[in-house]
Amino acid sequence: MGNNGVSSRLQLIFSMMLFGTIGTLSRYINMPSSVICLGRAFFGVLIILAILAVRREKPDTEAIRRNIGWLVLSSTFMCVNWICQFEAFKYTTIATSTLCYYMQPVFYILAAAAVLREKLSARKIACVIIAFCGMIFVSGVLQTGLHISELKGVLFAISGGFFYAMVVLINKYMKDISPVDTTIMQLALVSVIMLPYSAVTGAFGQVSITTTGIICLLVLGFLHTGIGYIIYFDAVNKLPAQTVGILSYIDPVEAVMLSAFFLKEPVTVFTVIGAVMILGAAAYSELSE
């Protein structure tokens, strides 16, 4: 493995470790989910544009123009995806919401089979079944049933995973546009969508402004979204897809560990079993047939 390969892997690991702290960070931002999404997208696109300016690079406006329809659709789904993700964090534990959210590879497999007519092999069907069983373990329904609040968190997380899978699927239809240009436009469009949505729903009136919350939101936008995405895409462009797929599971594993050790959230044997089933099935589906 060359130095470039090692460097790219370290970049990917670093970005995944950043993403794994999003759930814990959100605990300190006492704002409605739509406002968090707005701030994350707005500050994220600002730092990406600043980095491109330092690099003396410009977005490919022609490529953006050709794909604008798909960009608007994917950005709309990204709005729903992010809102569901942050709502899930509010209603259930970081571990439960993160693991249910990571059902997204399963949703992508099913969607790709239905829309892209990709072959649904016996191996992929087995992965789907195992992941769904794992989700049942993680949800806690086998232990005590689901309280309304807990059920909301699980449903929001699953919905977030579904809409994330839709974003990935729609990105397949985009032609001759770089991942960085795609991200810039998606974040910009998310900001444009979330600003009036937050105003109409009265979310700005529910914002609790604290120094900690503002700092965490800035970190989420600038570091986790802007810088994190740049590092992530730099690494992804240099690594095999299978390596990217496997290393991506650092994110949920770290999120579960942080919720247990830092936030003192309960992690049961059922959670561990479900985590192994969900992440194992998703990782196995990434491997070559």
Tell me the DSSP string of 102-171: TTHHHHHHHHHHHHS-----HHHHHHHHHHHHHHHHHHTHHHH---HHHHHHHHHHHHHHHHHHHHHHHH
Q: Comparing C-alpha atoms, which of 78, 96, 50, 8 is closest to residue 223? A: 50
pLDDT beyond 60 at 289? no
Q: Which residues contact 160 (CB under 8 A, 6 or more apart)?
A: 80, 81, 82, 83, 84, 85, 88, 101, 104
Please write the tens of the pLDDT for every residue from 26-75: 999 999 999 999 999 999 999 999 999 999 999 999 999 999 999 999 99
Specify the pLDDT at position 127. Answer: 84
- Return the residue matching tokens 């444009």: 192
Distance CA 29, CA 9 (A): 31
pLDDT beyond 70 at 110? yes
Please write the tens of the pLDDT for every residue from 165-217: 899 889 888 999 998 999 999 999 999 999 999 999 999 998 888 999 999 99
Specify the pLDDT at position 274. Answer: 86
Average pLDDT for residues 249-266, to the nearest whole number?
86
Q: Give whole-number Cα distances, 50 to 34, 180, 222, in Å.
A: 24, 13, 11
pLDDT beyond 70 at 149? yes
Residue 143 Cα to chain centre, angstroms: 28
Distance CA 149, CA 169 (A): 30
pLDDT beyond 70 at 145? no
| Residue 142's pLDDT band (cuts 50, 70, 90) | low
Counts for the chain of helices (H) and strands (E), in that order: 16, 0
Specify the pLDDT at position 68. Answer: 96
| Residue 104's pLDDT band (cuts 50, 70, 90) | confident
Q: Percentage of the chain with pLDDT > 70?
A: 94
| Residue 2's pLDDT band (cuts 50, 70, 90) | low
Distance CA 239, CA 65 (A): 28
How many CB atoms are closer than 10 A to CB 235?
22
Query: Which H or E run contains 92?
Result: none
Specify the pLDDT at position 215. Answer: 96
Specify the pLDDT at position 279. Answer: 84
